[in-house]
Amino acid sequence: MTTPPSLLSLTIHSAIHNLSRISDLSFLPDHVVLDLFLETLRAGKLNERVLKLFVATGKDEVLSLIEAFNIQQIVTPVLPTILKMSQLNIMDSEVDIVVGALHSDLTSFMNEWKPIFSQYHLIIVKDPELKEDLIIPDGFDLDVYTQQDIDRIVGASNSIKFSGYSCRYFGYLMSRKKYIISIDDDCVPAKDDKGLLVEFVAQHISNLSTPATPFFFNTLYDPFRKGADFVRGYPFSLRSGVACSLSCGLWLNLADYDAPTQALKPSLRNTRYVDAVLTIPAGAMLPVSGINIAFDREVVGPALCPALRLAGEGKFRWETMEDIWCGLCVKVTCDHLKLGVKSGLPYVWRNERGSAVESLKKEWEGVKLMEEVVPFFQTLRLPEAAVTAEACFLEIAKAVKEKLGRSNQMFARAADAMVEWVEIWKNAGSGPLPVDN
């Protein structure tokens, strides 16, 4: 049984539809003004004129509400949280999907992704160490880059090698789009917990284009997601959030474990679909896996480069550390610049490859390095003068050289690569693309 509407609620309802004809609300009792204000907000009828009308009442509760919701006097209708989602109409043409090709035959990979990939521009970079020609099916809008292009555009670099997983970074350099999504060629589209195909690109772009909340943790995860909001106790002044620069997706089936974990638990598969995206709090470090990420190239592009190359680096993900290093650089940069990093959705389905035990025989260095690398990044503070990703990245390189470089030549080389990358980015990563000769 529902209560019939009160005369007051009917009056308020009617008033909302006649706001344009009302010029004074101050004669109304406080609680009626409050109800009317809330109903106006809910109905999306708050515009600058109406806001002024409410401000003019001088009622404390209404003024508090306006302050609490951080409502600014602008012309468009204002709603906290909800509106931000609808403001984000990202064009497909603002996205590049980058694939580092470590396998020559991309037929099944591309065909599995066709429903998604066919809507976007692709950049495929062939691993320079791959001998065979690439096999790529028709029906895609793509540019393929090879060793020849690398030589032509970057020239012979002393410290940066684009072989193996690092070839993708050449694609980052060749993109001119705002957003880059990067995916390994051993992944196929995943299904969510309801059996539906994951909205891979849309989810990454939603992560990047809605605000991040690194300065206070929201226990219901992403407050900008449909059906969620900020929980009680979340300061209103922090609810507008900050721009998000990096979105880290996850993996079903074969997760991104290291070689010892894989070797020890060869049958371990990730079957848990966690339906969440969250902002990694400022100051907290995380291992960013390069398997499935997206980022704002215009903002943090210069901070993603293949700097840390292991002596025994190989063609399996667990034989590399370049992405983990890169992720720590980006996280420190984002924390410093008050930008956000998110982790969670979208998932990709990752197929099995390689023998972890074989990898263990040749590669231990990556696992050991982290013991030194993580405390370094956890305690690193950048000077206030660094206000761009380039500047932050150069400051990080300087600190790497000073604090890590002495103990291990690998770090000294990484620092050199970072400095060189910023130079390369300046010359080749912006402006018109160099013309093919």
Binding mask 378-407 for a second copy (x = CB under 8 A): x-----------------------------
Kindly state whether residue 2 participates in binding a second copy, applying the rule CB under 8 A: no
Kindly state whether residue 276 participates in binding a second copy, applying the rule CB under 8 A: yes
Amino acid, res. 173: L
Whole-number minimum distance, CB 240 to a second copy, in Å? Answer: 13
Whole-number minimum distance, CB 370 to a second copy, in Å? Answer: 4
Where in 189-218 is the site for a second copy (CB under 8 A)? 193, 215-218
Cβ atoms of 424 and 296 closer than 8 Å: no
Whole-number minimum distance, CB 58 to a second copy, in Å? Answer: 15
Mark the segment that binds a second copy (CB under 8 A) among 111-119, 195-203, 247-255, 398-406. Answer: 247-255
Kindly state whether residue 330 participates in binding a second copy, applying the rule CB under 8 A: no
CA distance linking residue 192 with residue 223, whole number of Å: 20
Binding mask 123-162 for a second copy (x = CB under 8 A): ----------------------------------------
Within 8 A by CB and 6+ apart from 130, the residues are 101, 102, 103, 104
Binding mask 71-110 for a second copy (x = CB under 8 A): --------xx------------------------------
Kindly state whether residue 238 participates in binding a second copy, applying the rule CB under 8 A: yes
Cβ atoms of 434 and 153 closer than 8 Å: yes
Structure tokens at 325: 């290093």
Amino acid, res. 417: A
Q: Report how far apart, in Å, the C-alpha atoms of 396 and of each of 131, 152, 360 are.
A: 36, 29, 30
List 109, 162, 295, 318, residue binding a second copy (CB under 8 A): 318
List 11, 16, 28, 38, residue binding a second copy (CB under 8 A): 38
Cβ atoms of 210 and 88 closer than 8 Å: yes
CA distance linking residue 214 with residue 211, whole number of Å: 10
Cβ atoms of 297 and 172 closer than 8 Å: yes
List 113, 117, 140, 230, residue binding a second copy (CB under 8 A): 230
CA distance linking residue 230 with residue 47, whole number of Å: 23
Kindly state whether residue 310 participates in binding a second copy, applying the rule CB under 8 A: no
Task: Quickly tell me which residue has 């992720």 as its tokens.
Answer: 327
